[in-house]
């Protein structure tokens, strides 16, 4: 378990991290979200013992990062932001160095390095200087170094930054796979990544935690959550707007076709007009069933019917902008 | 000890994997022998002594040692590998000692490669091998002193050029404190005990003892304590600056 207790870090008069507390358990993949400069990296640097906190502390697997840094480090695999490595070394030598420091000798050391190079697909570049590798390979070298000792705790600072879509997918699969038996914290500003990989997300803004929950829970904070996007063919606009507003628990109805370009307003087939509407529920209510029944009664022709799950981008924007305004 | 060894080996190897090592060694050998033969006119002295060789070492080290040491910490800080190094289970002391010893040994290797000078005097006459040994020891310790100063300045900045320039200036000051011209100048307005105390802090004063064939415990203690002091200061600077 990683337990962070009232962690605070000042840089001069700036509070980069302001009294953050949370715990992460084995089997959890925690996504750390926040705009640039929100304090994600600073928090990670403190958990990995690199940066001493101004106040507060953290424990990793029971070891305090301030009083037992070496024991804590031994349990952590860390991928720093932009995965720095000794660029004048080749991949094999670099990993052999990491393995030596991690306490492996002789055959065991060689075996560890060979295994991790296989896992991270590094065999083909084993004897190339790290400096000459592409960003994707360098990132993999960083991963290899972090996973080498099969750590219980993984801390990954922007693990997919600068990778192409295929590589991102690979990395996400790898993280998901490892997440079953490890405790992982990863930071990112890619929201899809949180939805794809994480079991829990913490959003920080201005050094404070502004939201903490599963990606679904966070999404439900969105205004869009539970709204219905409806596409109707050949229905009179005014009639639709007025009558749908009277459906039980509907808060308001907006016309999306008038907001957007006229293209969506005119259906391409048979010249019939497509009307695109969005219905927002009163908070805490579900309107899908009532709406479906109503449409059925009126016998409208439906082209699309979607219940929105909510937009994480919107939640992220509102929460972090709010923090900036305070 | 394992961690010290790992850092030490990595660092030493990195010298030889880049052109730095070869450039340094070639320049060092050319410069030492060039100064010995062409400026000190080694052959014309007609003496079986390496004095004209060792007299140049402080002045060559003044530039060459900072060139070797300037990257030690500034490169780690600039490339961010310091974050990697200090999140591995290594103590600050192990990392510091490993890096310092690797750079020192590297200079030692360059110094060892000047052995043809010894063969030359041995062939031409019968030199005092005791003096040669103590001079080599003094030269190696002097290099260590310069290197420890360079380590400290290297930790202060991410920029290798700044680290080089500051190291050269600091080393120059440490050297000049004991050079005749400067002590004479101090004697002009300071009491003798004070100007002698100042010159006692100089690399130059303590290096001279070894050149006369004296291995004085005071000189040994001086160099060892300068190195320890500089590395301790280096540790403090790193603690404060590593995350910047």
Mean pLDDT, each 10-residue run in order, chain A (326 residues): 93 90 93 88 94 94 94 94 90 95 93 92 92 90 92 93 85 87 90 88 90 86 84 84 84 74 46 80 83 87 86 80 56
Which residue in B2, B10, B84 is closest to A84 by CB distance? B84
CB contact under 8 A, B84 and A93: no
Q: What pLDDT was estimated at residue A265?
A: 46
Return the pLDDT at B148.
Answer: 97
pLDDT at A324: 52
pTM beyond 0.90 = no
* B195-216 confidence digits (pLDDT tens): 888 888 889 889 988 998 889 9
Is there a contact between B81 and A93 if contact means CB atoms under 8 Å apart? no
The reported pLDDT for the residue numbered A326 is 45
First to last CA, chain B: 29
- Kindly state the average pLDDT of the residues B13-41: 89
Surface-to-core class of residue B8, CB atoms within 10 Å of its CB (0-12 exposed, 13-18 middle, 19+ buried): buried
Q: Which residue of B has its CA nearest to A69?
A: B89
Instruction: Give the separation between CA A8 and CA B204, rounded to whole angstroms.
Output: 49
- Residue B244 has what pLDDT? 79
The residue of chain B nearest to residue A131, with distances taken between CA atoms, is: B79
Higher-pLDDT residue of B180 and B137 is B137
β-strand A183-188 against A14-24: which pairing, if any? unpaired
Q: Is A108 on the interface with B (CB under 8 A)?
A: no
Interface of A with B in 19-58 (CB under 8 A): 45, 48-51
Chain B: give the shortest CA distance to residue A16, in Å. 13
Cβ distance of B243 and A80 shorter than 8 Å = no
Judge: B81–A85 Cβ closer than 8 Å, yes or no: yes
pLDDT score, position A262: 46
| Coil vs helix vs strand at A309 | coil
Mutate to test the interface with B, among A49, A51, A71, A84 (most CBs of B within 10 A): A84
Structure tokens at A279: 């219905």
Set out the domains of chain A in order of their start, with CATH numbers. Answer: 2-219 (3.40.50.300), 228-308 (3.30.70)
Q: Are B243 and A50 spatial neighbours (Cβ–Cβ below 8 Å)?
A: yes
Distance, in Å, from the CA atom of A303 to the CA atom of B62, rounded to the nearest integer, reads 82
Express each pLDDT in B89-103 by its tens digit: 999 999 999 999 999
Tens of pLDDT, residue by residue over A220-276, are 887 788 888 888 888 888 888 888 888 888 888 888 876 544 444 444 444 567 888
pLDDT digits (tens, 9 = 90+) for B51-92: 889 999 999 999 999 999 999 999 999 999 999 999 999 999
Average the pLDDT over B111-126 and give the result. 92
pLDDT in the model for residue A270: 46
A86 and B81 in contact by Cβ < 8 A? yes
For a pLDDT cut of 90, what percent of chain B falls above it? 65
CB contact under 8 A, A45 and B81: no
Interchain CB distance below 8 Å, A100 and B243: no
Whether residue B87 and residue A101 make contact (CB cut-off 8 A), yes or no, is no
Distance from CA of B42 to the nearest CA of A (A): 41
Nearest chain B CA: its distance from A267 CA (Å): 56
Cα A42–chain centre separation: 17
By C-alpha distance, the chain B residue nearest A155 is: B87
CA distance linking residue A205 with residue A202, whole number of Å: 10
């Amino acid at each position: 378990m990683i337990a962070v207790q009232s962690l605070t870090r000042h840089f001069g008069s700036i509070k980069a991290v302001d009294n953050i507390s949370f715990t992460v358990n084995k089997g959890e993949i925690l996504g750390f979200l926040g705009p640039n400069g929100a304090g994600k990296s600073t928090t990670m640097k403190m958990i990995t013992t690199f940066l001493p906190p101004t106040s507060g502390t953290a424990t990793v697997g029971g070891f305090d990062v301030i009083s037992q840094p070496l024991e804590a480090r031994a349990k952590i695999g860390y991928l720093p932001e932009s995965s720095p490595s000794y660029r004048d070394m080749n991949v094999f030598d670099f990993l052999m160095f990491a393995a030596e420091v991690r306490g492996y000798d002789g055959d065991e050391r060689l075996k560890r390095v060979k295994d991790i190079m296989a896992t991270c697909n590094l065999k083909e570049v084993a004897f190339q200087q790290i400096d000459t590798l592409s960003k994707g390979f360098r990132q993999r070298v960083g991963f290899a170094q972090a996973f080498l000792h099969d750590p219980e705790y993984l801390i990954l600072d922007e693990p997919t930054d600068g990778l192409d879509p295929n590589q991102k997918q690979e990395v996400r699969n790898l993280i998901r796979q490892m997440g079953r038996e490890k405790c992982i914290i990863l930071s990112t500003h890619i929201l899809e990544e949180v939805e794809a990989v994480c079991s829990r997300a913490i959003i920080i803004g201005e050094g404070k935690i502004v939201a903490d929950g599963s990606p679904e829970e966070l999404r439900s904070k969105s205004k869009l959550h539970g709204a219905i996007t409806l596409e109707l063919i050949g229905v009179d606009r005014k009639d639709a707007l007025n009558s749908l507003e009277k459906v039980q628990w509907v808060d308001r109805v907006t016309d999306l076709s008038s907001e957007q370009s006229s293209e969506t307003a005119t259906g391409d087939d048979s010249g019939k007009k497509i009307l695109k509407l969005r219905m927002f529920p009163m908070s805490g209510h579900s309107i899908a069933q009532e709406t479906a029944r109503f449409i059925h009664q009126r016998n409208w022709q439906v082209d699309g019917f979607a219940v929105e799950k909510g937009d994480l981008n919107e939640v992220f924007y509102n929460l972090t902008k709010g923090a900036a305004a305070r | 000890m394992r961690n010290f060894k790992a850092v030490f080996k990595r660092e030493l190897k990195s010298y030889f994997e880049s052109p730095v090592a070869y450039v340094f060694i070639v320049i060092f050998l050319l410069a030492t022998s060039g100064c010995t033969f062409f400026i000190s006119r080694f052959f014309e002295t007609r003496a079986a002594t390496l004095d004209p060789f060792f007299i140049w070492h402080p002045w060559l080290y003044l530039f060459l040692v900072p060139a070797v040491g300037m990257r030690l910490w500034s490169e780690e800080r600039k490339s961010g590998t310091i974050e990697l190094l200090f999140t591995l289970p290594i103590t600050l002391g192990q990392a510091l000692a490993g890096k310092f010893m690797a750079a020192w040994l590297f200079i030692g290797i360059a110094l060892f490669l000047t052995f043809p000078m010894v063969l030359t005097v041995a062939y031409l006459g019968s030199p005092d091998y005791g003096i040669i040994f103590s001079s080599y020891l003094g030269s190696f310790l002097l290099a260590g002193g310069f290197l420890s100063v360079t380590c400290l300045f290297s930790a202060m900045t991410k920029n290798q050029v700044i680290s080089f320039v500051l190291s050269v200036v600091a080393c120059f000051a440490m050297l000049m404190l004991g050079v005749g011209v400067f002590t004479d100048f101090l004697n002009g307005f300071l009491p003798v005990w004070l100007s002698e105390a100042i010159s006692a802090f100089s690399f130059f004063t303590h290096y001279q003892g070894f050149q006369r064939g004296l291995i004085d415990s005071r000189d040994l203690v001086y160099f060892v304590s300068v190195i320890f002091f500089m590395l301790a200061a280096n540790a403090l600077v790193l603690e404060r600056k590593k995350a910047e």
